[in-house]
Amino acid sequence: MNVNQADAPKRNILIVDDTPNNLRLLSAILTKRGYEVGKALDGKIALRAAKTAPPDLILLDIKMPEMNGYQVCERLKADDKTREIPVIFISALDDVLDKVKAFRSGGVDYITKPFQGEEVLARVQIHLNLQALQNALRREQKNSERLLLNILPQAIVEELKQKSSATPTQFEEATFLFADIAEFTPQSSLMPPVAVVSLLNQVFSAFDQLAQHHGVEKIRTIGDSYFVAGGLPVVRTDHAQAIAEMALDMQQVITRFHWPTGEPLRLRIGINTGGPVVAAVIGIKKFAYDVWGDTVNLASRMESQGEAGRIQVTEATYKRLQDQYQFEKRGALLVKGRGAMITYWLIGRKSSSFEITFG
């Protein structure tokens, strides 16, 4: 990446020096080259100016009353708003220890007085170019992080940033929800593929907003199936309630969407609470965050053996939520791999205080 002064917007430089003649001389040199220049006669004024309108670069004297240049630089580097501004010290102090102290306080360069105008301009340009490159790199890193957050939970992204790998984690308890669009295959077969994809995108985007609103984690989508978890990767004690709220809101939101025949879409939802389960990032090229455990499998069974327009939950989930939500006992259900199990339909909230308005 080449950053030239000619094709870049005017850069703003703050000069900090308690000697008016130095301010005038440096200002004249920089202004003539096309820079916008701000001036400060002491450190306190400089700090206020830098916070109010952060400059692209600071030229900083060392020997000043009340607050010296080292102290000013340290304060700049301690503030999130000003820490990335490059600081070039410009001082009559010529001892090596003075220069070392300047770099340790956060300076990027050191110019000794009396200075040559061309040297000042050259060093300023170098550090502005470096700053532009660093800013571009930070933007790319933020873009990469945003992309990762689209496919991985935030807690996992933070771990990857710190350790370049994510450790598989066991969670003692969590609640899982599987949702499937009823009659999807016969209904979607009558639609153009582009229309099917568009419909799914609208539905799942609405569900994603709900997941964010309720603080639960979307694990994945497969076809018309939506899988979400409560209580991981961030542990929370109210995971069952969060998933119940998610399920009830999903049933409400799905009524906004219709098949080409005008018939509204309906969901089949299954929920289970339990543990332990293991969650981990898999893959080396296309990362995926997934969860394994019998609790997950049973939640999937609750969905696949449920009914359109209804939310089927296991007895474990029912026991966690029976005081807050209305249920209807379905009775014994023969579940693959588990035999006969008592399951329940989640009907709604017992109190309006639990209602959450979406949108």
DSSP letters, 94-108, are --HHHHHHHHHTT-S
Element (H, E) at 289: strand 288-292
DSSP letters, 114-173, are SPPHHHHHHHHHHHHHHHHHHHHHHHHHHHHHHHHHHHS-HHHHHHHHHHSS---EEES-
Residue tagged active-site, from 98, 224, 249, 311: 224
What values do phi and psi take at 126, rounded to 5?
-60, -45
Residue tagged active-site, from 15, 90, 181, 254: 181
Using DSSP, state whether 350 is helix, strand or coil. Answer: coil
CA distance 100 to 108: 11
The token duo for 39 is 């001036």
CA dihedral of residues 331, 332, 335, 339 (deg, nearest 10): 160
Establish whether 222 is a catalytic residue. Answer: no
Establish whether 13 is a catalytic residue. Answer: no
Using DSSP, state whether 320 is helix, strand or coil. Answer: helix
Residue tagged active-site, from 17, 56, 109, 180: 180
The token duo for 239 is 């995971």
What is the crossing angle of helices 154-163 and 117-151, to 10°?
130
Using DSSP, state whether 355 is helix, strand or coil. Answer: coil
CA angle 72, 77, 80 (to 5 degrees): 125
Establish whether 42 is a catalytic residue. Answer: no
Catalytic residues: 180-181, 224
